[in-house]
Structure 1
Amino acid sequence: MIPLEEKKIIVGLDIGTTKVSTLIGEILIDNTINIIGIGTCQSRGIYNGIINDLESVIKCVKQSIHAAEVMSQTNVNSIFLSISTKDINCQNEIGIIPINKRAITKLDIDNIIHTAKSVPISNEHHILHVIPQEYAIDQQIGIKNPIGLSGIRMTANVHLITCHSTIKKNIIKSIKNCGIQINQIVFSGLASSIAVLTQEEKELGVCLIDIGGGTLDITIYIDGILRHSQVIPYAGNSITNDIAYAFSTSYTNAEKIKIKYGNINSYTSSDIEYIEVMNKSGIYNQKFKIHTLTEIIEPRCSELLYLVNNEIVQIQNSLKKSGKNYQLLAGIVLTGGSAKIKSLTVCAEKIFNKKVRIGLPNIINGIIDQIHEPDYSTVLGLLYYGRKKYHKNKQRNIIEKQNFCKKWLKKINSWVKKII
């Protein structure tokens, strides 16, 4: 196998309630990502983003990573890891610094971001992301990049995403026990939005709803700015549990039925009138009308979407009161495994009264057939996030080398002048 150091390799790992997914991507010379390895494993030992069986999680992670390593012929030693749990919070904060009429520099940006994030956060929470939203210089507001501008005082609005430190520690422990280092832990909703949303949608105003197995992630962008992020611990597994209960079958069988036959529109034409259902002993001894499955899925999906709609309305009202744009002109984007339920967009459009589309991850090169699905949005987004981080670190190293050379040239010039 080829060591990762010899290639520009990035690895994403998504530990979900339903499955564990690993993607290995190579950054090509044209900056595109070539998918060279995929590994998946049925998830065990984690529920709603919380580990309840460390050993099982470690086994799943190892199995998923190994499958991706074999396919890509590389050894994985570090990954970008997604996280989604009800213990993730978000808050918008403000930082202020004086600039005394001089031109703003990168150091000023770093200082004001540091000021903005130095605020009290929920007990035992740790900051995952500090995302700049916009800047203001004196009376000029809505500035995206203030470097080079001048004024008396600069203000920065930032979006903080935090996670309970215990949850984070347990996730880190599970990965390190696999002999893998973590480059960064990334909020799943943020990763999915990178993979699925276009810049135009973010500018117009859009809400991404990532419906996973155990959690649902909401990210709202308006004017190109991340205005709100949230996790709801209520998602696809609630639908699966309803199916398992109604059909007296196992959770695993219910999940398969949901994926294969799931539909929330009873008027959709289908060649199948009845479905055979396996009992908990593994014997096919039950037959149900396909319409019965629809009657189970539709109310739960509607309940879930109404819950999200209430959250969106609250955020919009808050933005409206503060005088900010609150319109979602690009509508709603659904992604995640449960977004594959048939006719979900029809139901969502009625509830949100907006246009709705299913968000598929944007893929450039490589093994794309298997992962061009909503349930791979998060893990592919981790690769895009990793690519950005890679170039940022590369640029920082170049600047550090340049500064080092300048420092030594200055010393040499000073030494030569003393001799002369």
Structure 2
Amino acid sequence: MESNYTVGLDIGSSKIVLLIGEQMANNMTNIVGRGEVPAKGVDKGSVTDLDSVVTAIKSALTVAEEMANCKVSWVNLSVSGAHIESINESGTWAIEDKEVSSYDMDSVLHNAASIKIRDDQRLLDVIPQQYAIDSQEGISNPLGLAGVKLKADVHLITCHNGFVKNLEKAVELCGLSIEQLTFSGVASSAAILSEDEKKLGVCLVDIGSGTMDISVYVAGALRHSSVLAYAGNSVTNDIAITFSSPQNSAEKIKINYGCLQRESIDPDERIELISVGGRDARTLQRQMLVDVIEARYSELLDLIKQELCKLGNGSDMEGLKQQLAAGIVITGGAAQMIGLVEVAEKTFDNMQVRIGKPDNLQGLVDDVATPAYSTVVGLLRVKSASFSKNDESADASRFSVILSRITSRFSVIINRIKKEY
């Protein structure tokens, strides 16, 4: 594969998408290949049928490779699920040679990330928030600056080791290697949010089929990450149960006739719905469908509101508005429901709300410039922390550097002693 191509793989509950693209000099992302197949064997970010997932990935891979006329070896893989946890930590480091080097930055990030996590968890993302040198705080890039003590504040995201191992196994069985694992909320943020929004304070909500990823930025830095195990499929399930319809039929009428604006619907409009068990299709008022959809979306938005209120003082929405001056950005496949902005603004006490979709695209723009592709587009853009998150390899590298420096200094001392005697 061409070295300047990056490959993103998003294994979702409703679809598996593989994108091939490259970052251009003007901040544009050029999409050259896309493979997409319906997801089978995946539920809320976890593998439930390994063979089905492997088959689906291979199908998406074949289509994308043919479209881009290249061979894929490495992928950036997204991770989501209710097992995602996050915490903010800090670490310090004595600056070598009184001027911050890349080694110093790696070391302070490593120290900040060296916290004890549960045996069933692993470190997924280490995201710097800000640095400080001695008494100077609020530094975004300390490289080359002079000082004695370096401090780093970081946002750590962890995931369930077993769940992620199953995803990794599915990818590897397709003959692919994983270059980077990324929380899908971080990937979506890279595709959707502007730097101005992050600085003002913003919450990104990616509503997929099985999960809702929440990413909160305050003063330009990621402060909170979480996942709720309720999303678009909950709406589909409600439709299927209420009207005794098969899941696939319920999904189709949700997409074709669903909206959140009851007043805009003709009260006499009726839609046809397939029944279960081979029974004859029947018709129902479209307004009845909208009532079911609106009730579930209101519940989903309330869950998001409750999650955000945990960051403040209970139900203090005024304090939350000040922290999130840029408001709420909603993306993901389920964000395409007509009328969602108006319902969300009402739920969040008139905070600003917008629907986010990937921009700065060229190439296969029409295929991916919708909220449903935020995560996979972001996988082509996001880069993890520079130091290795593999403890053994990172520690070995650090030990090698430290040993080399000690040996060098010891040699200087020996030479001085020889000259004196």
Other-structure match for 1:408: none
Quick check: 1:361 aligned with 2:358?
yes
Q: Is the 8 A contact 1:97 1:155 kept in 2?
A: yes
Aligned-residue offset at 1:143: 1.7
Counterparts of 2:337 and 2:379 in 1: how far apart (Å)? 24
Aligned-residue offset at 1:38: 1.4
Q: Is the 8 A contact 1:100 1:151 kept in 2?
A: no
Aligned-residue offset at 1:137: 2.6
Other-structure match for 1:301: 297
3-state SS in 1 of match to 2:368 = coil
Distance 1:329 1:123, change over 3 A: same
Aligned-residue offset at 1:271: 9.7
Equivalent in 73, 76, 80 of residue 72 of structure 2: 76
Give the paired residue count: 382
Aligned-residue offset at 1:124: 1.6
Please say which of residues 186-195 and 302-311 is displaced more in the overlay.
302-311
Other-structure match for 1:401: none
Equivalent in 195, 198, 210 of residue 199 of structure 1: 195
Other-structure match for 1:392: none
Q: Is the 8 A contact 2:125 2:385 kept in 1?
A: no
Counterparts of 2:384 and 2:218 in 1: how far apart (Å)? 24
Counterparts of 2:320 and 2:243 in 1: how far apart (Å)? 48
Counterparts of 1:261 and 1:325 in 2: how far apart (Å)? 33
Equivalent in 128, 131, 136 of residue 132 of structure 1: 128
Quick check: 1:256 aligned with 2:252?
yes
Counterparts of 2:145 and 2:128 in 1: how far apart (Å)? 17
Other-structure match for 1:385: 382
Distance 1:94 1:244, change over 3 A: same
- Structure 1 length normalisation: TM-score? 0.86
Counterparts of 1:334 and 1:27 in 2: how far apart (Å)? 24
Aligned-residue offset at 1:310: 1.4
Letter in 1 for 2:301: L
Distance 1:245 1:136, change over 3 A: same
Structure 1, residues 267-303: CA drift from partner, whole Å, max 9, x if none? Answer: 1245981111112356661111111111111111111
Equivalent in 337, 345, 350 of residue 349 of structure 1: 345
Counterparts of 1:94 and 1:338 in 2: how far apart (Å)? 36
5+ residue gaps, structure 1, are: 390-420
Quick check: 1:184 aligned with 2:196?
no
Counterparts of 2:90 and 2:230 in 1: how far apart (Å)? 31
3-state SS in 2 of match to 1:241 = helix
Structure 1, residues 282-338: CA drift from partner, whole Å, max 9, x if none? Answer: 6661111111111111111111111111111221349x9xx9996111100000010
Counterparts of 2:280 and 2:177 in 1: how far apart (Å)? 45
Equivalent in 95, 102, 122 of residue 118 of structure 2: 122
Structure 1, residues 103-125: CA drift from partner, whole Å, max 9, x if none? Answer: 22222111111111111113321
Q: Is the 8 A contact 1:16 1:213 kept in 2?
A: yes
Counterparts of 1:388 and 1:159 in 2: how far apart (Å)? 11
- Structure 2 length normalisation: TM-score? 0.85
Other-structure match for 2:11: 15
Equivalent in 55, 78, 89 of residue 59 of structure 1: 55
Q: Is the 8 A contact 2:127 2:385 kept in 1?
A: no
Counterparts of 2:138 and 2:26 in 1: how far apart (Å)? 33
3-state SS in 2 of match to 1:136 = strand
Counterparts of 2:251 and 2:330 in 1: how far apart (Å)? 19
Counterparts of 1:204 and 1:133 in 2: how far apart (Å)? 15
Q: Is the 8 A contact 1:218 1:230 kept in 2?
A: yes
Letter in 1 for 2:382: Y
Other-structure match for 2:102: 106
Other-structure match for 1:402: none
Structure 1, residues 57-88: CA drift from partner, whole Å, max 9, x if none? Answer: 11111111112122222222221111111111
Equivalent in 372, 375, 378 of residue 375 of structure 1: 372
Please say which of residues 32-41 and 344-353 is displaced more in the overlay.
32-41
Counterparts of 1:270 and 1:191 in 2: how far apart (Å)? 40
Distance 1:28 1:156, change over 3 A: closer
Other-structure match for 2:152: 156
Give identity over the alignment, percent: 44
Distance 1:387 1:8, change over 3 A: farther
5+ residue gaps, structure 2, are: 387-421
Counterparts of 2:245 and 2:110 in 1: how far apart (Å)? 53
